[in-house]
Amino acid sequence: MEFLHRLYATLHATATSLESRLAVLYLLLTVVLVAVLWLMRGRPTSFVAYLLPREVYRHKSNLVDIKIFLFNAMLGATGLFAAVTMTPLMTSFVLDGLLHLTGRSTAPVEGTWSKLALATVIMILTLDFCKYWAHRLHHETTILWPFHALHHSAEVMTPLTANRNHPVFLILRSLIYTVIVGAVQALMLFLLMGKIEVLTIGTVNAGYFLFNAFGANLRHSHVWLSYGRVLEHFLISPAQHHIHHSIERKHYNKNYGEVFAIWDWMFGTLYVPDSYEALSFGLSDIHGNRIEQPYPTLRSALLDPFADSWRALWKGTRRDPDAANAGERPSAP
């Protein structure tokens, strides 16, 4: 019974917490945004068909999304993901080291608006930097790619596809966050303020609230939304993330960022579309030819990546950069 209560709490938080992209508030705002786009595009179909097309929401790929979401929710209810999120411990460790080396105390607690604003920007940039590199490492390292290929195997996308992640991917990403975010928080405590505080809306970083409220759920959807060439050099639009999921050869190895495009721009992985591009989602080989769905069931989605990762050990850890977004499954040694 205790596990069921924790599972209910996990699912309830997913629907209500402003830290969850699937919170009801964000989903309602997404519906409003889609309605605006539907009107601007001349009402091409009925609104219900535009918002919830049958070919997307009845697709087998969406069924796998639902199963993976529920499985990860059950893992979360066991405390597994919380156990590997040790950011406070890393913060304490680094801060203690800085204080010991310098023989000084932390900065005074002064919650001025300027400090809060600076802390807010630093935290969202740090988290986004972590997400960029965690994402890129999973694409470009053969032993890690199978655990992220599950996400890219989605042949249609809905907001739930954002949660189509293998538990190993989630754990490794959390460990990366622990090291980098923990260290940055320690530096903020040491240099900027004696207590970590950021500008919030509800309980979430104000920057992430705005990101989730204005289009984040369209990143995994059938609705194209571009911000235009200028803005897309600074912010990753839903359209740019669609391109990241594309099976086309020219889209490989592009747009790893979540919120900001500056990391892709800085490290040479940015792709800014000139106009609307018709895309197909899923996995493909290095020539852009679609690969048959390798994870049609929950069992294959959870177990096959381990076998693929093991086989990749025999072929070296670095993927061909030109194939970094391709989904070919490693062949047996």
pLDDT at position 333: 24
pLDDT at position 118: 81
Instruction: Give the tokens for residue 173.
Output: 């990403």
> Would strands 200-201 and 204-205 be described as parallel, antiparallel, or unpaired?
antiparallel
Dump pLDDT digits (tens) for 112-163. 777 777 878 888 899 999 999 999 999 999 999 999 999 999 999 999 999 9
pLDDT at position 161: 97
pLDDT at position 101: 80
pLDDT at position 108: 61
Q: In this structure, are residues 325 and 253 in contact, taking their beta carbons and an 8 Å threshold?
A: yes
Cβ of 223: how many Cβ atoms within 10 Å?
Answer: 21
Q: Which residues contact 54 (CB under 8 A, 6 or more apart)?
A: none
pLDDT at position 294: 93
Cα-based angle 166, 67, 142 (whole degrees, multiple of 5)? 20
How far apart, in whole angstroms, are the C-alpha atoms of residue 52 and residue 161? 14
pLDDT at position 42: 96
Q: In this structure, are residues 205 and 17 in contact, taking their beta carbons and an 8 Å threshold?
A: no
pLDDT at position 185: 81
pLDDT at position 328: 45
pLDDT at position 330: 35
Q: Which residues of the chain have pLDDT under 50?
A: 323-326, 328-333
Cβ of 264: how many Cβ atoms within 10 Å?
Answer: 23
Secondary element (H or E) of residue 167: helix 167-191
